[in-house]
Amino acid sequence: MLVDTFGRTATDLRVSLTDRCNLRCAYCMPPEGLDWLPKPELLTDDEVVRLVRLGVAELGVTEVRYTGGEPLLRRGIAGIVQRTAELAPRPQVSLTTNGIGLDRLAAPLADAGLDRVNVSLDTLDRETFKRLAHRDRLDDVLKGLAAAVAAGLAPVKINAVLMRGINDHEAVPLLRFCLEHGYLLRFIEQMPLDAQHGWTRDNMITADEILALLGGEFELTPELPEERGSAPAESFLIDGGPAAVGVIGSVTRPFCGACDRVRLTADGQIRNCLFATEESNLRDALRAGASDDELADRWRKAVWAKRAGHGIDDPSFLQPARPMSAIGG
C-alpha cells in the first residue's frame, strides 16, 4: 500500500498523459503557451500502462484519473483507457478534460471502459471564454458535454474556477445551467499553480464567497461530513435536494488530512502532493531495467515522505516550479 507517515493511504492515482493544451487559461499559462516537454521524455503508452498496472495490482490504487495538460490530445488515449479498464482488480477509470474534442471521443472512450468525466467550464459567455482561455472554443466544450451524456458518462461533472472581476458574476448562471442539463457542478478555488506565478490571495474567490453568491438564490444544506470521506468537494443540497453543488476550498478549507491522491506526471515523475517541491523519477528507473519490485519500492518511499499539508498559508510556502499543466490535475 502507498502509506505516508501520517497514516494516509493513497488509492487515487492521477496520471498526466501530456503537458500540452489547446487552451491558454489565464490561471494556468500565458497566452503564448509554454515550452512543451520533448516527446522522448514522455512516457510511452506501454510505460504508462505498466506503471498504472503496478499501482493497481501491487500498491492498492482503486481509481485512475487521466489528466493533462489536455489528455484528449494524447493520440493513444482510447487504448490506454481500455488497457486500464482491463486490469484486475478493475479500477474506476475517469478523465479530466477541457472538453475540446470530447464530442468525437466520448463514445469511443466509453466503449473503451471510461467510467466518468470531469469537464472544465468557467463561463457561459463567449467573450469571457475568449478572455479567459484566449481561444474561441466555447461551442466545442458545450458539444463535448452533450456527447459525454449521450455516451453514458453520467453524471458529468463540471469544474469551474471563479476569478474576481472576470466571471465571478456567473456563479448562479453556471449552477442554473448545470441543473437544467443534469450536470454536477463543482466550484474550485483558484490555486497558486499558474506558470506566470501571478496568483494572489486577494484575487481569489474564496469558498465562503462562492457560497454567499449561491446562497442569495438557492437554499444550500451541507451534506453530512461522514458522507464526504476523502472527496475534495464539500457538497451542498440545493433547495432540499436531490440536486447538489460542490465547493472545493483547496486554499481556505484544505482537506489535506484526508487526501488519498498521488500523481504521475507525463514524464514519469511521482508527486505525492499537487504542491510538492520534490519528485521521484520512475521513468529513468523503468528505462534502466528496474523490476516491478524496485519501482514499487521507489513509489512507496515517495509517498511515505508526503508532508502533512500543502502549506499555502505558511510564510515559507513556495509555489511548485511546474505549473498545473505540467503536473496534471
For residues 170-193, give the mean pLDDT: 92
Cβ contact 80:74 at 8 Å: yes
Per the listing, cell 484486475 goes with: 88
| Residue 252 in this model has a pLDDT that exceeds 90 | no
The three-class DSSP label of residue 213 is: helix
Burial of 99 (0-12, 13-18, 19+ CB in 10 A): buried
What pLDDT was estimated at residue 277? 82
Q: Which residues of 168-179 are buried (b: 16+ CB within 10 A; e: fewer)?
A: eebbeebbebbb
- Rounded distance, CA 84 to CA 129, Å? 33
Structure confidence by residue, pLDDT tens digits, 209-238 = 999 999 999 999 998 765 666 678 899 999
For residues 117-133, give the mean pLDDT: 96
For residues 144-166, give the mean pLDDT: 95
What pLDDT was estimated at residue 71? 97
Structure confidence by residue, pLDDT tens digits, 25-59 = 887 777 777 778 999 999 999 999 999 999 999 99
What pLDDT was estimated at residue 314? 62
For residues 243-253, give the mean pLDDT: 90
Structure confidence by residue, pLDDT tens digits, 258-278 = 899 999 999 999 999 888 888
What pLDDT was estimated at residue 115? 98
For residues 117-131, give the mean pLDDT: 97
Sequence-distant contacts of 78-81: CB under 8 A, at least 24 apart: 78/105, 78/108, 78/109, 78/112, 79/45, 79/112, 80/17, 80/45, 80/48, 80/49, 81/109, 81/112, 81/113, 81/114
Which cell numbers in the block locate residue 65?
484519473
Comparing 193-197, 200-204, 236-240, 305-309, the range with the smallest average pLDDT is 193-197
Cβ contact 217:51 at 8 Å: no
Enumerate residues 6+ apart whose C-beta is below 8 A from 31.
Answer: 24, 134
Given CA atoms 49, 269, 187, 142 in this order, what sign does their dihedral have?
A: negative
Give the best-scoring range by mean pLDDT among 70-84, 186-200, 244-258, 265-279: 70-84
**pLDDT-based confidence at 120, cuts 50/70/90?**
very high
Cβ contact 306:272 at 8 Å: yes
- Rounded distance, CA 300 to CA 119, Å? 31
Which cell numbers in the block locate residue 326?
505540467
Strands 92-97 and 116-120: parallel
